[in-house]
Structure 1
Amino acid sequence: MDEESPDDLLFKDHHFSSELLKQLNDLRQRRLLTDVSICTGAWEVPCHRNVLASSSPYFRAMFCSHFRESREARVQLRGVDPRALEQVVGYVYTGEVHITTANVLTLMEAASMLQYPRLFEACSSYLQSQLAPNNCLGMVRLSEILSCETLRKKAREVALTYFPEVAASGDLNELGALELKDYLGDDGLCGEEEKVFEALMAWVKHDVQARRRYLQELLQQVRLQYIHPAFFHHFIANDALLQSSPACQDILEMAKRQVFSLYGTSTQDSRPTWHVPPRNSYQDFLLLLGGRKDNQQTTREVLLYSALTGQWQNLAKLPTRLYKASAVALHRSVYVLGGMVVSGGQSLISHKVYIFSLKLNQWRLGEPMLAARYSHRSTAHKNFIFSIGGIGEGQEFLTSMERYDSICDTWQTMASMPVGVLHPAVAVKDQRLYLFGGEDVMQNPVRLTQVYHISRNTWFKMETRMIKNVCAPAVVLGQRIVIVGGYTRRTLAYDPQSNKFVKCADMKDRRMHHGATVIGNKLYVTGGRRLTSNCSIEDSASFDCYDPETDTWTSQGQLPHKLFDHACLTLQCIPHMATFS
């Protein structure tokens, strides 16, 4: 008779438990069958022992063991707020509690003491929803008092994510030295290094006499190589407080030699503590500027691509249409140099420099070049920009080179290239600037590598049969310089140490006038023009990626439109601090 039959019914009353609690709470409120009163001071809350013991390990131990409370009619609890106690008991009988800013702390303390973890976490979630830059540091300390790890993690995350706002609130000045060091050294801190330095100095100057002894230790947490050299030069290098510390002076001098000078250092006795990557909060974005769009006139468009989201965004347009200008990324800004401006039917060769801030999504005029030029090449090294060759105002072939110093905001004429070429591939590696190939005045390919020694301001040239590129970009990928296409499908990797070229996997098409840049350890190639099998020329919207680990090319889809003769750059940015239009 006890065996189950297919005709049997298992009845489940989903409302029974809640109805039972409702009836128990009604009995409690009418003080029927209650057998214990939980007291704090003069405040009493009548309850049923079995309900409390069933709901909490704290009360189970109290009423189901040999403690005297198991027999007492009135149990006194110390350290519990009366109102919070009543709310906790109400929660036990109803599963509900109203959490507000006025009661959350006392409720959380009671939930912790009386061992109601879900109520404790509900209070934690409420506090997390109230987190802001002006209270997150206080919440970190509160979480440590309450031993609430979820609140501590979230509050610390807010402090790191909105670090500049936290520092501006002044709460940072109340931290101890070890606490501040922990924040400043965190890879996840979202803030430009200039802001990190300013926060450090504000903290020290809040109580100079007591805190100056921590200056060296804290300065080592600032990643000096990611600070704009002009800021370093004007606001850090000559700071009186830093200059008063020999140890800090040593750090600054090493920074200047290692990072902000054209001249490398041969010092072998130390590896500076700032030899670290940028903080995790920085992301690499791909930027496309100008060029010829859909085979029409030169465009002013600026496009931003995130490899994380795979999305393209439009940014503030170039101030004017520039034909065959050059562009480089330096110190989280983009510099667009020269180019030809067509206005009112007239062509004007420009020497202007436009500077774009991704953070502000704005353009401004910079210090102009010494010579107007277009079809030139530019590249950046440390705090310098080099602008090379091109065509001048009289349509003459330029062999000249000039250098921009971003600290002093000045241009200077440097040694001219040995052989004048147009459209070479250009890259900087190990104190040397390399010009690969290009074409001569008769538009013939030049099988030549021209090398400029940056610190010596001297050139030398090397003939090579491997080079035959025109209108091709070059990028530094690991320890090698990679030359991508240029009226060819070939991808060549040059090793400066061995002075040897190695063939990499060919591109799908013969390409020229395309862009290339590096994100992470991969090479991205954008747009350009391609030679078809019947030798006709087509504009391209292709977007391809080369992986040196596997020596393979893969498609990343298509650009928003066909594009060639454009600038293709990598720019580092803290995403939430950027303003995109």
Structure 2
Amino acid sequence: MAGSGAYSGGLSVGHMRSPGVVREERMAFCVWPNTPEVFPFKDSELSSHLLSQLNILRQDRVLIDVLLCSENTEIPCHRNVLVSSSPYFRAMFCNNFVESSQGRVDLKGISPEVLLDVVDYVYTGSINISMDNVVPLMQAASMLHYGRLFQACSTFLQAQLSPDNCLSMIRLSEILHCDSLKEKAKEMAVRSFSDVAASEEFCELSLPELMSYLEDDRLCAEEEQVFETLLAWIHHDPFSRRGAIHDLFKQVRLRYIHPTYLFQFIANDPLVQSSSLCTEIIDSVRRLMRSVSAKCGSELKPLWTTPRRYTCRETLVVVGGRKNNEQTSREALLYDERTQRWQWLAKLPLRLYKAAYVCIHSILYVLGGLSLSLASGESSVSATVYTLSLKTNQWRTAEAMLEPRYAHQSVSYLHFIFVLGGIGVNKQISNSVERYNSMFNQWEAMSPLPTAVLHPAVAANDQRVYVFGGEDAMQNPVREIQVYHICRNLWSRLETRTVKNVCAPAAVIEDKIYIIGGYTRRMVAYDTKANQFVKCENLKERRMHHSATVINNKLYVTGGRFLNGHDIIEDSDCFECYDPKTDVWTSKGTLPYKLFDHGSLPLICISNRPNLP
């Protein structure tokens, strides 16, 4: 019987069975392999049920041991619930403070309505936050150390942010010591700087506050607007603020301002002229530009070498060319790297055959070309220059070139645009060279090319313009490099069998000039420092009449014409990217249509979207 009583496998106390039956029952309850001996059970509803029951006890005043008081309102509570919910109440009730033994606790500075909302939150975990109660609720949450409630209020306010109220929100965040709200409001202010800077509240900023905006790399504004903003701030209270012009002026990134604006508007502004330190900076920039040097003195270097703001990003623009082998195109397209889609910009005013394309100071230039009249069927060689800014998305005419020309080459360097060769009104290949000086808004004739060539690869680097190959008037390839020394206005020539490109673009990455194709699959990089060629990964097809440009130190190649496997020339809508670090080509999809003899350029786009690449 003692043995039976110790066994709990199903035998009732007092039952007597034979030993054989007992053995069978024991075998029925034995533990099989891989069967868990412990069943972990977690009641997911217990915590919410417990909180609900505590709230019912509070409402029925059962086991209440403290009253939280505000003005004439008493709110019954349980000390242990308050202690468990907040470090503030834990310190109050679990230490030798007088409140630990009191039945009534007055909470000054919190209205009855807000205190009741907080207590309801403690007992239910829920609360309704609105613009009517968010500020006092946030103050109470800060005082009583309810961190999650405080952050919930901050999240609510962040959702209400707009350019109209972000400066007020920054001031509120400073009063409430809320870093998360302050950072989001500041982000809104720098992203919507144009709208914010036009407000009356902006003019009331202190000097340190204004400085914090102007030096912010996230500021979404062109540098011209940065200058105009600091002027408006000073003119709001000129008597006390004019002395700040030098400190504010140093926040303007002069390198990215158009020279015409800098030397005609900024340099002549009375406030700038009143500061000897500002005029010294402008004079240093003027000397640097006139020296045609990319290197600056120690006094200007910290200002001149400051990088662009994060909101300025290079985007690819494709313009002009022959579309689908039908007619000269007026289209201009912008490629959005993040969406990998093409956007249509304003159309060129007219169709231009074999114009030249270049970008300088965030402005796209279309120079010359053969103008075709569909009505009369006649054509004329043009000297007209059209410009496009992404800011306005409108085409305008600029100072015309000295000579009409088409099938010419153009390249930018510092504040210059160089135009080389091409075909003039006499239908002859020209060796003339002219350059546009954006500092003085004028064209000037330069030393001519030693050898007149068509369709060379052209690039500028380290105070020199390089002209690789091309073909002469008899369509024979010219195997030489013609080098133009910008400072001396002199040409030199270097014969080399390595050069054999025709209708190939060139692009510069660091100190290497990449020559891409040209009736060949070959791509080579010319090291300007070592004066030698380096072979790179080949193109997939023999390519010509294509275009190439550099964005973020990668080479983007668009369109062109290629020789297929049967040696038949076809038009291309190819869009590829080359990474010099890995020596690898990657497909970027296709252009919206087949295109050749077009321009492919990097333009600076200012975007207020966060997390720019």
Task: Report the TM-score when normalising by structure 2.
Answer: 0.88
Are residue 197 (structure 1) and residue 231 (structure 2) matched? no
Q: Against the structure 1 CA distance between its residues 483 and 7, is the aligned structure 2 distance closer, same or farther, given a 3 Å change threshold?
A: closer
Q: Distance in 1 between matches of 2:37 and 2:53?
A: 34
The residue that corresponds to 2:548 in the other structure is 516
Q: CA deviation at 1:549?
A: 1.8
Are residue 233 (structure 1) and residue 263 (structure 2) matched? yes
Are residue 319 (structure 1) and residue 349 (structure 2) matched? yes
* CA RMSD, Structure 1 to Structure 2 (Å): 2.6
Q: CA deviation at 1:365?
A: 2.4
The residue that corresponds to 1:349 in the other structure is 381
Are residue 340 (structure 1) and residue 370 (structure 2) matched? yes
Structure 2 SS opposite 1:350: strand
1:540 to 572, 588, 597: 572
The residue that corresponds to 1:165 in the other structure is 195
The correspondence of residues 43-442 of structure 1 with structure 2, limited to 5 A, is: 43-258=73-288, 260-261=289-290, 263-264=292-293, 268-270=297-299, 272-274=301-303, 275-343=305-373, 344=375, 345-442=377-474
Q: Distance in 2 between matches of 1:194 and 1:558?
A: 36
| One-letter amino acid of the structure 1 residue matched with residue 68 of structure 2 | I
Are residue 480 (structure 1) and residue 512 (structure 2) matched? yes
Q: CA deviation at 1:6?
A: 7.7
Tell me if structure 2 keeps the 8 A contact 1:261–1:382.
Answer: no
Q: CA deviation at 1:19?
A: 4.8
Structure 2: where are the runs of 5+ without partners?
Answer: 1-7, 10-28
Please, which moves more after superposition, 473-482 or 27-36? 27-36
Q: Against the structure 1 CA distance between its residues 268 and 124, is the aligned structure 2 distance closer, same or farther, given a 3 Å change threshold?
A: closer
Q: CA deviation at 1:238?
A: 1.7
Tell me if structure 1 keeps the 8 A contact 2:311–2:608.
Answer: no
Please, which moves more after superposition, 409-418 or 290-299? 409-418
Q: Distance in 2 between matches of 1:170 and 1:466?
A: 64
Tell me if structure 2 keeps the 8 A contact 1:326–1:337.
Answer: yes
Q: CA deviation at 1:232?
A: 0.8
Tell me if structure 2 keeps the 8 A contact 1:257–1:264.
Answer: no
The residue that corresponds to 2:15 in the other structure is none
The residue that corresponds to 2:599 in the other structure is 567
Tell me if structure 1 keeps the 8 A contact 2:71–2:111.
Answer: no
Structure 1 SS opposite 2:327: coil
Q: Against the structure 1 CA distance between its residues 12 and 496, is the aligned structure 2 distance closer, same or farther, given a 3 Å change threshold?
A: closer
The residue that corresponds to 1:445 in the other structure is 477
Tell me if structure 1 keeps the 8 A contact 2:292–2:414.
Answer: no
Q: Distance in 2 between matches of 1:288 and 1:468?
A: 26
The residue that corresponds to 1:460 in the other structure is 492
Please, which moves more after superposition, 472-481 or 82-91? 82-91
- Count of aligned positions: 576
Please, which moves more after superposition, 15-24 or 357-366? 15-24
| One-letter amino acid of the structure 2 residue matched with residue 223 of structure 1 | R
Structure 2 SS opposite 1:232: helix
Q: Against the structure 1 CA distance between its residues 510 and 8, is the aligned structure 2 distance closer, same or farther, given a 3 Å change threshold?
A: closer
Q: Distance in 1 between matches of 2:395 and 2:127?
A: 54
Tell me if structure 1 keeps the 8 A contact 2:203–2:236.
Answer: yes
Q: Against the structure 1 CA distance between its residues 346 and 312, is the aligned structure 2 distance closer, same or farther, given a 3 Å change threshold?
A: same
Q: Distance in 2 between matches of 1:103 and 1:301?
A: 55
Q: Against the structure 1 CA distance between its residues 7 and 264, is the aligned structure 2 distance closer, same or farther, given a 3 Å change threshold?
A: closer
Structure 1 SS opposite 2:521: coil
| One-letter amino acid of the structure 1 residue matched with residue 150 of structure 2 | F
Q: CA deviation at 1:30?
A: 4.8
- Deviation string 1:464-505 (CA, Å, 9 cap, x unpaired) is 222111111111110122211111222222233343333323
Q: Against the structure 1 CA distance between its residues 529 and 267, is the aligned structure 2 distance closer, same or farther, given a 3 Å change threshold?
A: closer
Q: Distance in 2 between matches of 1:426 and 1:7?
A: 80
Q: Distance in 1 between matches of 2:242 and 2:366?
A: 43
Structure 1 SS opposite 2:593: coil
Structure 1 SS opposite 2:383: coil
Structure 2 SS opposite 1:107: helix
The residue that corresponds to 1:489 in the other structure is 521
Q: Against the structure 1 CA distance between its residues 443 and 404, is the aligned structure 2 distance closer, same or farther, given a 3 Å change threshold?
A: same
Structure 2 SS opposite 1:460: strand
| One-letter amino acid of the structure 1 residue matched with residue 142 of structure 2 | S
Q: Distance in 2 between matches of 1:266 and 1:225?
A: 12
Q: Distance in 1 between matches of 2:391 and 2:445?
A: 31
Q: CA deviation at 1:26?
A: 4.4
Computing the radius of gyration over CA atoms, which structure comes out larger, 1 or 2? 2
| One-letter amino acid of the structure 2 residue matched with residue 96 of structure 1 | S
The residue that corresponds to 2:561 in the other structure is 529
| One-letter amino acid of the structure 2 residue matched with residue 255 of structure 1 | V
Q: CA deviation at 1:11?
A: 7.4
Q: CA deviation at 1:270?
A: 4.2
Q: Distance in 2 between matches of 1:12 and 1:549?
A: 55
Q: Distance in 2 between matches of 1:576 and 1:267?
A: 31
Q: CA deviation at 1:40?
A: 2.7
| One-letter amino acid of the structure 2 residue matched with residue 392 of structure 1 | G
Q: Distance in 2 between matches of 1:270 and 1:199?
A: 25
Q: CA deviation at 1:31?
A: 4.1
Q: CA deviation at 1:88?
A: 0.9
Q: Distance in 2 between matches of 1:454 and 1:415?
A: 10
| One-letter amino acid of the structure 2 residue matched with residue 305 of structure 1 | Y
Please, which moves more after superposition, 131-140 or 495-504? 495-504
Q: CA deviation at 1:518?
A: 0.5
Q: Distance in 2 between matches of 1:199 and 1:268?
A: 28
Please, which moves more after superposition, 28-37 or 338-347? 28-37
Tell me if structure 1 keeps the 8 A contact 2:381–2:404.
Answer: yes
- Deviation string 1:508-548 (CA, Å, 9 cap, x unpaired) is 22211011000111111111111234422122222222222
The residue that corresponds to 2:502 in the other structure is 470
- Deviation string 1:357-414 (CA, Å, 9 cap, x unpaired) is 2122222222322322211111122222222221122322222222223344333333
Please, which moves more after superposition, 440-449 or 242-251? 242-251
Please, which moves more after superposition, 170-179 or 275-284? 170-179
Please, which moves more after superposition, 168-177 or 432-441? 168-177
Q: Against the structure 1 CA distance between its residues 8 and 554, is the aligned structure 2 distance closer, same or farther, given a 3 Å change threshold?
A: closer
Are residue 552 (structure 1) and residue 584 (structure 2) matched? yes
Q: CA deviation at 1:18?
A: 4.1
Structure 2 SS opposite 1:199: helix
| One-letter amino acid of the structure 2 residue matched with residue 226 of structure 1 | Y
Q: Against the structure 1 CA distance between its residues 271 and 231, is the aligned structure 2 distance closer, same or farther, given a 3 Å change threshold?
A: closer
Tell me if structure 2 keeps the 8 A contact 1:373–1:391.
Answer: yes
Q: Against the structure 1 CA distance between its residues 500 and 17, is the aligned structure 2 distance closer, same or farther, given a 3 Å change threshold?
A: closer
Q: CA deviation at 1:193?
A: 0.8
Q: Distance in 2 between matches of 1:195 and 1:161?
A: 14
